[in-house]
A and B are shown apart, each in its own frame.
Chain A
Amino acid sequence: MDYFEPKTLNEALSLLQKHGEQTKVIAGGTDVMVDIKYKEEPGGLINIKKIPGLSGIQENGGSLRIGPLTTIREIETSALVRDKLPVLWEASHQFASLQIRNTATIGGNICRASPSGETLTPLLVLEAKAKFAFSDGAKSEPFTSFFHGPGKSSLGAKGLLTEIEIPIPAAGSKGMYLKHAVRGAMDIAMVGVAVLIIPDAAKNNLQDVRIGLGAVAPTPVRAPKTEALLRGKPLTAALLKEAAAMAASESSPISDQRSSAEYRRWIVEALTRRGLEQTWKAATGKEVA
């Protein structure tokens, strides 16, 4: 197995251009090391941890900019994230164990492109953007189109994620991440649901609603029909019931060792209902009537 430790972004990009098809990029290693031990050993590893400037959390121009090498624990313990992006904080807090959070990076969680990736549905509802580079130039793309399938993203074999740009949601918005798993810690989500609502100024209607569904489709997805159904309306009990059922119908889960597809649809319905109800109450001070 070949091994590279590029010291600059350009060096990493030319290595990826040349060897990207046969090598794997490694950062924290919590997924890649398991692949090496239990699946096929790649032709080589490109360890990007020595590249400066790819780590850290900064507020800039109404957005938080997070470097891909930032660990999940750094995100979880960032006062800035907890204050401005509570939905991402919640997902980071529920992410595996402390040992894993100390090592795993947000870039790794994104580039793994797993449908159940804990930080991905929050990034979808926050309308965050991926910034990434190839040897011949840089690109930017919303996460809503970035994921193509399990393990597949717009990075392909030769791209490198360089920054995650997350717009800070409007004042008065409320977000929530709900995870369904058997064990509190360490378990991969059977279903993950992120909800972000923005009430209108009078707190009577849902000005905007964003719902992200994890582990119930080949990629993490938004629930556009459900969002359209809710937009511009007050959250009544009848609307909440209809919206939760619609979110379940917008998911396309598979059956696997963690749960059946049917069970996953029920959980999408329950978590969507819970997420909408609780964010509505937190944002407007009103019960769902």
Chain B
Amino acid sequence: MSVTIKTTINGKPVSASADASTSLLEFLRDTLEMKGTKLCCNTGECGACTVIFNGKPINSCVTLAADANGANIITIEGLAKDDTLHPVQQAFIDTGAVQCGYCTPGYIMSVKALLERTKKPTAEDIEEAVSGNICRCTGYAKIVDAIHLAANRIAGRA
């Protein structure tokens, strides 16, 4: 059975139909052809599919697309303004926190949500915020550096 989903993605109203069993990740990637959000484990364990859903980071692979009705969703495609990257994106580049890059969109969404909750995250805040994101290249130290850099730049400290 097909359902119609009316939602807001990156500030723009979207309306499309999908099978009722469709996940939000499949809706983004396959129905809307927004490929920035990544499919990896498809079980809610790796965080590659993280999007911000009504202000909170969630795993889009284990969220029913139908639940997006009336919701406000931010994906990786919604961060850059024209040619200017979001400070979190720029910090990942400047610290070399991107290796193969597959986990990066998910990390960036988790970090964006973190820096909206707190301007000066502690080591504990950072660990909590990205403990649901796995980097198989294991470049964790540089990711943590990127988070500190982004936090400092957003707060005007760097």
B36 at the interface (CB under 8 A from A): no
**Bound: A41/B64 CA distance, A:** 14
A residues in contact with B20, CB < 8 Å: 1-3, 45
Contact B63 A98, beta carbon cutoff 8 Å: no
- Among residues of A, the one whose C-beta sits closest to the C-beta of B3 is A3
| CB under 8 Å from chain B, chain A span 131-164 | none
3 tightest A-B CB contacts, nearest first: A97-B132, A3-B20, A185-B131
- Among residues of B, the one whose C-beta sits closest to the C-beta of A101 is B132
B residues in contact with A41, CB < 8 Å: 21
A residues in contact with B67, CB < 8 Å: 29, 47, 49
Q: Could you say which of B50, B62, B133 contacts A33, with CB atoms under 8 Å apart?
A: B62
Contact A1 B21, beta carbon cutoff 8 Å: yes
Contact B59 A47, beta carbon cutoff 8 Å: no
A residues in contact with B129, CB < 8 Å: 98
**Bound: A38/B62 CA distance, A:** 12
- Among residues of B, the one whose C-beta sits closest to the C-beta of A184 is B131
- Among residues of B, the one whose C-beta sits closest to the C-beta of A37 is B42
B58 at the interface (CB under 8 A from A): yes
Which one of B50, B58, B62, B67 has the greatest number of beta carbons of chain A within 10 Å? Answer: B62
**Bound: A97/B61 CA distance, A:** 14
A28-55 contact mask (Cβ, 8 Å, vs B): 1 or 0 = 0110011011100100010101000000
CB distance from B57 to the nearest CB of A (A): 5
| CB under 8 Å from chain A, chain B span 100-114 | 110
A99-B110, A102-B56 given; A26·B131 CB < 8 A = no
Can you report 6 residue pairs joining A to B where beta carbons are below 8 Å apart? A1-B1, A3-B20, A34-B42, A37-B42, A38-B42, A184-B131
Q: How large is the interface on B (under 10, 10 to 19, 20 to 34, 35 or more residues)?
A: 20 to 34
Contact A100 B44, beta carbon cutoff 8 Å: yes
| CB under 8 Å from chain A, chain B span 35-93 | 42-45, 47, 50, 53, 56-59, 61-64, 66-67
**Bound: A254/B45 CA distance, A:** 24
Sample of 19 more A-B contacts, CB < 8 Å, known A1-B19, A34-B44: A1-B20, A3-B66, A5-B66, A29-B63, A30-B44, A30-B59, A33-B44, A34-B62, A41-B21, A47-B64, A73-B56, A98-B131, A99-B110, A100-B44, A100-B132, A102-B53, A103-B59, A184-B131, A186-B45
| CB under 8 Å from chain A, chain B span 112-152 | 128-129, 131-133
Contact A33 B64, beta carbon cutoff 8 Å: yes
CB distance from B80 to the nearest CB of A (A): 22
- Among residues of B, the one whose C-beta sits closest to the C-beta of A31 is B62
B residues in contact with A73, CB < 8 Å: 56
A196 at the interface (CB under 8 A from B): no
A96 at the interface (CB under 8 A from B): yes
A1-19 contact mask (Cβ, 8 Å, vs B): 1 or 0 = 1110100000000000000
| CB under 8 Å from chain A, chain B span 9-49 | 19-21, 23, 42-45, 47
A residues in contact with B21, CB < 8 Å: 1, 36, 41, 45
